Amino acid sequence: MKAYVTVMPKNGVLDPQGKAIGHALGTLGFQGVGEVRAGKVIELELAETDPAKARAVAEDMARRLLANTVIESFKVELA
């Protein structure tokens, strides 16, 4: 089954990439844009078919490799 791990900078952590995107959108003429935050998403094809186990594995992957939990939060979605 597929697992999607979404990793975002935690609130309060400086996000220069998000700031740069927000600035660029303003330059392009987009108005009414508030805070912009940039994160990453990792799509994993897992052999595991049990949803609970797949989620546990994906969370373990996120903690050990995909996210820096000091400054980033993550969430796991299955599909």
Shortest distance (Å) from residue 69 CB to a copy of itself:
15
Amino acid at 6: T
Rounded CA separation 12/21 (Å): 18
Q: Give the residue with the Cβ less far from a copy of itself, 24 or 70.
A: 24
Question: Which residues of the chain form contacts with a copy of itself (CB under 8 A)?
Answer: 6, 8, 18, 21, 24-25, 28, 30-48, 57, 60-61, 64-66
Tell me how many degrees the CA angle 21-76-61 measures, rounded to the nearest 5. 100
Shortest distance (Å) from residue 64 CB to a copy of itself:
6
Helix (H) or strand (E) holding 2: strand 2-9
Shortest distance (Å) from residue 78 CB to a copy of itself:
14
